[in-house]
Structure 1
Amino acid sequence: MNPFFSRFKSFLIKIAQIVFVVFAVGSLVSTSLNITTPPKLTAPVILDGRPLFEVSQSRYSAQKRANDANRVLKEEILTSEPPIRVEIDQGKDLPVILVDGKYLLSVTSSDAPAGLTVEEQAQNWAEQLRQAIAQAQRERTGAYLSRAALITIGYLLLAFSASYGLEWLWYRWLEPLLYLRLVSSQNFQNTHQRRSAEVGTKILLTLARGVIWLLSLIFISRLFPQTRELSRKVSELLQSSANLLKISLTSGLVPLGGKSYSVLDLLILIGLFVSLVFIARTLRRLLRSRVLSLTGLNRSAQETISQIANYTFIFIGTIVVLQLWGLDISSLAVFASVLGVGIGLGLQGIAKEFVSGLVLIFERPIQIGDFVNVGDLMGTVERIGVRSTEIRTLDDISIIIPNSRFLEAEVINWTHQSPVSRIQVPVGVAYGSNLNAVRAALIDAAKEHSEVLAQPAPQVFFKGFGDSSLDFDLLVWIAQPYKQFRIKSDLYFRIETMLRDREIEIPFPQRDLHVRSGNLPVEISPELVESISVLSQSLAKWLEIQSNISSRDSAANGKPDQEQSSKY
C-alpha cells in the first residue's frame, strides 16, 4: 500500500482507538457512579416550531395541557385578524391566560419556579405569548415572505457556489497536487490501489458537498413557520427514536452473577477489552523499543520478555476490567466449567496450540532469529505466538506454522546455542587421480572462501570407491547457516576451477559392454518343432502354387507375340 495512505490510515485508526477508549472509560465511570437525571414531568408550549415555555403536571398531564394550548394558539394565528390580545383573568382561584377571549391555560403552583408567585409566572408567560404571536403574524405578511424568499435564493446560490467552488478547487489544485505526491511512490503503480484512492477522494468530496447543502437546508427551514414546524416534528421523531434505542440498549438482557446486564453494558465490556489489548500492545512496543533495546539482550530474549509482560498485563487487566464492570469473579465458576467442557470437546486444537506456544515461549527450544528446518520447510523464526509461529523462508515467504508441529515432529535448529554449523560438499574424481592432489585442491578451495571458518579447520574424507568415481566429502564450518546453499554453490564453482587447473578429471557415469563369440545351446520343445514343420510344409505348398500360376500367365502372354512375328 502507498506510504501516504498507510500513514493516513494508521493515523485514523489510532484516533478511532483513542476515541473508543475514552468512550468506554466514560461510559464505565458514568455507569459506576450511577449518574441519572430525575425525569421532568413537563411539556413545551410551541408556536411555529419555537418552544415558548414548559407547563407542569397538575390536575391534567403536562402533555395534555401543552397540546390544548398549542391547538388554541395555532387556530388563533390562522383565523384571527391582528392584533391578537393576550389577557390574564384574575377572577378565579388561579390566573387564567386568555387569547382573544379564548381559554389557553391556567397557571398552577407547579408551574411557578421557586422565588416566583403564580401571578408573576402568568405575567411572564403572557409577555412571551404576546411577543411570539406578534412575530408569528409578522412572518405571515407578504413583506416578510418576500424577504425570506430572497434570502432563500441567496443561500441556495451561496451553497451552489460553495459546492461548485469546492469541486473546482479539488479537481484543479488539490487532486493534481495529491496525485503528484502519490505517483512519486513506487508502490502506486498498482491499478487497484489507484482506483481505491480515486474512490476514497470522491467519497470525501461528496461528503463535503453534502454537508454544505445540509447546513443550507437547515438554515432555510428556519426562515418559514411551516418548514420550521416540520423541522421540529422531524427532530422530535429522531429524538423519540433515540430514546427508544437508548431504552433498548440500557434494559437488562443478560443475567449474570445476580445482576442483569444490558446491551450497552456488553458493548462497554467489549470496548474495555479492546482498549486493554490496544494499551497492552502499545506498552509491549514501548518496552521492546525503549527499554529492552538498551539492555544489550539479543532479539530472542527481548521478544520473550515483551510477550510475557504483554500476557501478564492482559491477564491482570482482564480481572481489573471485570471488577470495574461490576462482575463478581466468583460468579464465573460456572462459566469456567462450561469453558473447560468446551475446550475438552470442541476447542482441543486451539488449547493444544496455546499450550504448545507457552512451552515454546518459556522452554525456548527455538527462539526469534533461529534458522530451523521443520519438515520440508527451512527458514528464520520471525515471531513466536501463543497459537502459531511465523517462519520466513529463503524465498522471503512468510509461513505460519502451528506451534504443536515444533513439539510433535523433529525440528532441526541450526543456530541452537551456537550458530556455527558444518556442511558437507560431496565431490567425485576419476579413477587414477592423485588422491593427495585432490585433497589439497579441496582444502585450498575451502580456505579461499571468506565465509568458511578457519577454526574448526576444513576436512576432507575419502568416502570410498564408487561405480565410476572416487568419492570424497569436503567438510567446512560456517557461522551463518542460512547462507549454506550459496556457500556450497561458491565452493563447487571454486572446486571445479581448481580441479581443471590441476588436470584432475571429474568423471561422468559410464558402462562397458563386452560380447563373446561361441555357440549358444538352445533347447526347443517337441511341440514347437512340430509346429515349425507344419508351417514350413504349408509355406512350400503355397510357393509351389504361386510358381505354377506365374508360369501359366507367362505362356498365355507369349503366344500372341509368336503369331505376330511369323507374319513378318
Structure 2
Amino acid sequence: MNSRLRCQSFFRQIARIVLVALTISYLLSITPVVAQENTTAPIILDGRILFEVNKSGEYTAENRANEANAVLRQQVTKPKPAVEVKIERREGLPVIFINDNHLLSVTSADSLNVERKAEQWQRQLQRAIKKAQYQRSNKYIRNAIFLSLGSILLAIACIYGLNRVCRRWLKPFLPAEMTDLPRDSRRRLILQVGVKILTNVLKITPWLLCTIYITDLFPQTRELSHNITDTIIGSLTGELIPLGDKSYSIVGILIFLGLFTGLIFLARTAKELLRSRLLHLTGLNRGTQETVAQIANYALIFLGTIVLLQLAGLDLSSLTIFASVIGVGIGLGLQGIAKEFISGLVLIFERPIQVGDFVNIEGLMGTVERISVRSTEIRTLDAISVIVPNSRFLESEVINWTHQNPVSRLTLPVGVAYGINLHMVREALIQAAQEHPNVLPQPEPQVLFRGFGDNSLDFDLLVWIANPPQQFKIKSDLYFRIEEVLRDRSLEIPFPQRDLHIRSGSVPLEISPQLSESLTQLSASLTKWLELQSNNNSWHKNNSKIDSKESS
C-alpha cells in the first residue's frame, strides 16, 4: 500500500513538472505574437467591426481606417432618409463612396481580386448603415429601453435564485468565520475558499451579463464600450516600458513574470523530486540531501532566469548598470542582507550545522528544520519555529549535539545522606541507569563520587544517549527511577539544612576609654531614673491607702 502511494505521488510530481513545462512553452510561443506589430486596422461602425484594411503605399492601415471610420460616423448621424454606397473606378482602382464622399480605395494590398473585394465591402457597408439608421429610430430606442428593464429584472431574479441555491447547497461548506477551522484541515480550507470564490463569481455574473447586453443594445454605448476596450488593450499591448535598447508592454512583463513564477514552481518541484526520489536512494544523511537539493534549486533558478531574459530579448550587458547599482546598495544599505547571504553560503557549503541537527545557540535550543541563504529555521522543544539570521551561527558559540556523532553524555547530580554505604548508592544508581531504554549500554553508565557536601554525599551519574532532543525527558525519567530505587533500598536523600553553633563566655571586644566612660555614665543615669520611678510608685500607693482609710 505504501509503495502504491509513493508511486502515485511520484507520477503526480512528474505530471506537475510536465504541465508547468508545457505552460512555459505555450507562453514562450505566444510572446512573439503579442509583441509583433499589427499590420491591419478595422473599419468600425457603432462599435462593430465590419472588415479590416491593410497598409497601402505610404498610408498605414491605421490612417486608412481612421479616415473611413470618421466618414462613416458623419454620414450615419446625418438626418437623411437613406445613405447610398457606390463604387467608382479612379486611376484603375475601385473606390467606395458614401453619398458622394470618399470612403476608401480598394488596393492590391487588400486583396488580389480588388473588384470582388470592393463589391463585398459595399454590401457589408449597406447592411451595416441600414442597421445603424434603424437603431437610431424612436421605435428601436423604445424597444431597447423595455429590453433593458427586462434584463435588469431578469438579473435580479437570477441573483435571488442563486442566493437560495447557495444558502441551501453551499452553506455547509461556508463557516461563519474561517478562523473556526482546525489548522490541520488544509483540504477543507481550500474547498471552502474555492466555494466562496465560486459563489461571488456566480453573484457577479448576472450583473456583468446584464451590463454587456444593455451596452450592446444602444449604438452610442456600444461604440463607447469599444473605445474603452481598445484603449485598455492598447495600454496593455503597447510598448510603454523601456528597458535597455528595447521597450516592453505590460502584457509582455506579465508573461515574463508568469514564466518566472512557473520557473520557481518548477525548480521547487524538481528539488522535492530530487530529494525524495533520487537522493533518498543514495544513503546520504538528511543534512547532505537538503544541501544538494538547495544547490540544485538555486542553480536551476539562476540558469532559468538567464534563459528567460535571453528569450525576452534583453541584452544582459545592459544589466551591468543595474549590477553596479546593486553593488553600491550592498556597500551602503544592504550590508546586513549581504552579510546574511554570505553566511548562508558558508553554512550550506561548510556545513557546521545541517538540517536535522540539535543545536543550542545563545540559550535557544532546538532542531534545525531549514537552512536558506538568509536565515535558518529552528524548531524548539516547545514546537515553536524560530527564524535565526545565519550570521549568528558564525559569530557566536554554537553547541551542536548531533554534529558528526549524535551520541552525547548526560550528567545527573545526586546527593545522599551521611552514614550510608557508598557501594549501595553506586549499585542503585547503576541499576536505575541500566533499566532506562534510551540509555546506551556502551559506553557503560558511570558513578563518580564528587565529594563531601554541606549536608550530603555528592555523586554524579554519567550516562550516554543517542537522541539529544530527548535529553530532558530522559533526565526526568532517570530521576524518577533513582528516587524509587533509593527508597526501595532505604537510602535516605537528605533535606537541605544549616547548623548554627552558639558559644558561651565573654565576647573579646576592645573599646576605647571614652566609649567606656560614656557607657558608665549612661548606666548610672539609668539606675537613678529607675530608683526615682520606684519611689514615685511607692508614694502613690501610700496615698491611696490613706484615702481609703479616711473614707471608711
Classify the TM-score, shorter chain. 0.7 to 0.9
Q: What is the letter of the counterpart of residue 165 of structure 1?
A: G
Matching residue of 2:155: 159
Please give the alpha-carbon distance, in whole angstroms, between the structure 2 residues aligned to 1:362 and 1:92. Answer: 80
RMSD in angstroms over aligned alpha carbons? 4.4
Please give the alpha-carbon distance, in whole angstroms, between the structure 2 residues aligned to 1:537 and 1:89. Answer: 149
Matching residue of 1:393: 380
> Of 203, 207, 211, which residue of structure 1 is paired with 2:205?
211
1:318 equivalent to 2:308? Answer: no
Secondary structure of 2:442 counterpart: coil
Please give the alpha-carbon distance, in whole angstroms, between the structure 1 residues aligned to 2:498 and 2:85. Answer: 130
| Aligned 1:160-309 pairs, distance under 5 A | 160-176=156-172, 186-187=182-183, 204-223=198-217, 227-247=218-238, 250-251=239-240, 253-255=242-244, 259-262=245-248, 264=250, 270-309=257-296
Matching residue of 1:86: 84
Q: String of CA shifts for 1:126-145, please: whole Å, max 9, x gaps.
A: 54455445545655678766
Secondary structure of 1:508 counterpart: coil
Q: What is the letter of the counterpart of residue 208 of structure 2?
A: L
| Aligned 1:152-551 pairs, distance under 5 A | 152=148, 154-176=150-172, 186-187=182-183, 204-223=198-217, 227-247=218-238, 250-251=239-240, 253-255=242-244, 259-262=245-248, 264=250, 270-333=257-320, 335-535=322-522
Secondary structure of 2:443 counterpart: coil
Deviation at 1:285, TM superposition (A): 0.9
Q: What is the letter of the counterpart of residue 348 of structure 1?
A: Q
Please give the alpha-carbon distance, in whole angstroms, between the structure 1 residues aligned to 2:108 and 2:340. Answer: 69
Structure 1: stretches of 5+ with no match in the other structure: 1-12
Secondary structure of 2:297 counterpart: helix
Please give the alpha-carbon distance, in whole angstroms, between the structure 2 residues aligned to 1:326 and 1:87. Answer: 48
Contact (CA 8 Å) 2:132, 2:219: kept in 1 or not? no
Q: What is the letter of the counterpart of residue 242 of structure 1?
A: I
1:35 equivalent to 2:22? Answer: no
Q: Percent identity?
A: 50
Deviation at 1:151, TM superposition (A): 4.8
Contact (CA 8 Å) 2:358, 2:365: kept in 1 or not? yes
Contact (CA 8 Å) 2:420, 2:491: kept in 1 or not? yes
Question: Structure 1 residues 298 and 229, CA, compared in 2 at 3 Å: closer, same or farther?
Answer: same
Query: More displaced, 198-207 or 399-408?
Result: 198-207
Structure 2: stretches of 5+ with no match in the other structure: 1-15
Matching residue of 1:114: 111
Deviation at 1:545, TM superposition (A): 7.3
Deviation at 1:222, TM superposition (A): 3.4
Please give the alpha-carbon distance, in whole angstroms, between the structure 2 residues aligned to 1:69 and 1:460. Answer: 106
TM-score normalised over the length of structure 1: 0.77
Q: String of CA shifts for 1:261-307, please: whole Å, max 9, x gaps.
A: 44646655544443332221111011112222233333222212212
Contact (CA 8 Å) 1:89, 1:98: kept in 2 or not? yes
Question: Structure 1 residues 516 and 68, CA, compared in 2 at 3 Å: closer, same or farther?
Answer: closer
Matching residue of 2:6: none
TM-score normalised over the length of structure 2: 0.79
Q: Select the structure of larger CA radius of gyration.
A: 1
Secondary structure of 2:78 counterpart: helix
Contact (CA 8 Å) 1:281, 1:310: kept in 2 or not? yes
| Aligned 1:100-139 pairs, distance under 5 A | 103-105=100-102, 108-110=105-107, 113-116=110-113, 124=120, 127-132=123-128, 134-136=130-132
Contact (CA 8 Å) 2:50, 2:125: kept in 1 or not? yes
Question: Structure 1 residues 536 and 350, CA, compared in 2 at 3 Å: closer, same or farther?
Answer: same
Please give the alpha-carbon distance, in whole angstroms, between the structure 2 residues aligned to 1:110 and 1:362. Answer: 69
Please give the alpha-carbon distance, in whole angstroms, between the structure 2 residues aligned to 1:497 and 1:112. Answer: 104
Q: String of CA shifts for 1:481-538, please: whole Å, max 9, x gaps.
A: 2222212211111111111221222122323333333233444433334434554565
Question: Structure 1 residues 529 and 153, CA, compared in 2 at 3 Å: closer, same or farther?
Answer: closer
Q: String of CA shifts for 1:245-276, please: whole Å, max 9, x gaps.
A: 543xx135343xxx244464665554444333
Contact (CA 8 Å) 1:322, 1:329: kept in 2 or not? yes
Please give the alpha-carbon distance, in whole angstroms, between the structure 2 residues aligned to 1:296 and 1:451. Answer: 25
Question: Structure 1 residues 395 and 122, CA, compared in 2 at 3 Å: closer, same or farther?
Answer: closer
